[in-house]
Amino acid sequence: MPKDTKLGPCVHGKIGAFYFYADGSTDDPAFGFCDIELSVQRVAEDTMRLELYCIADGYQSARGVGARHPLKLAVLAGETVLGTASWHFPDVICGHADPMHFAADIRLDDGLFAKLDRVELSRTSGESEPCG
């Protein structure tokens, strides 16, 4: 859900988890984000706000570093990308489950807001470091 539902119409959804895996592995996650909630809200004329809330999961012995490898998000209507945002998330600490929030305002013609049908997390690389 958005921080302020009174700002305008909103659509929202949830993704269970998004993990970064060690190179060549399909079962050794380094870190990730769980219980991801996304919303897109019309907040002003020709402006939508994309918000993401999640739990950052520093899995076992690695911490995630978002400075050089942002999480990439796209708002779509069918196969048409209406807007994008990149989140350079703060470090995801090992052995923690910390709440995190991201918001970005994106220009969008008002007539297109009703057509949006999903938000996608794009495939991206990540960086992790050993816990100290």
Of 53, 52, 50, the residue nearest 105 (C-alpha): 50
pLDDT, average across residues 49-62: 86
- Torsion over CA: 121, 119, 109, 42 (sign): negative
Phi and psi torsions of 43, nearest 5°? -110, -15
pLDDT the model gives residue 72: 93
Mean pLDDT of the chain: 89
Instruction: State the greatest distance between any 2 C-alpha atoms of the chain, in Å, as a whole number.
Output: 50
Tens of pLDDT, residue by residue over 75-84, are 999 999 999 9
Which helix H or strand E contains 57, and what residues bound it?
Answer: strand 47-57
Q: What burial class does residue 109 get, using C-beta atoms within 10 Å of its C-beta: 0-12 exposed, 13-18 middle, 19+ buried? A: exposed
pLDDT tens-digit map of 83-112: 999 999 999 988 788 899 999 999 999 889
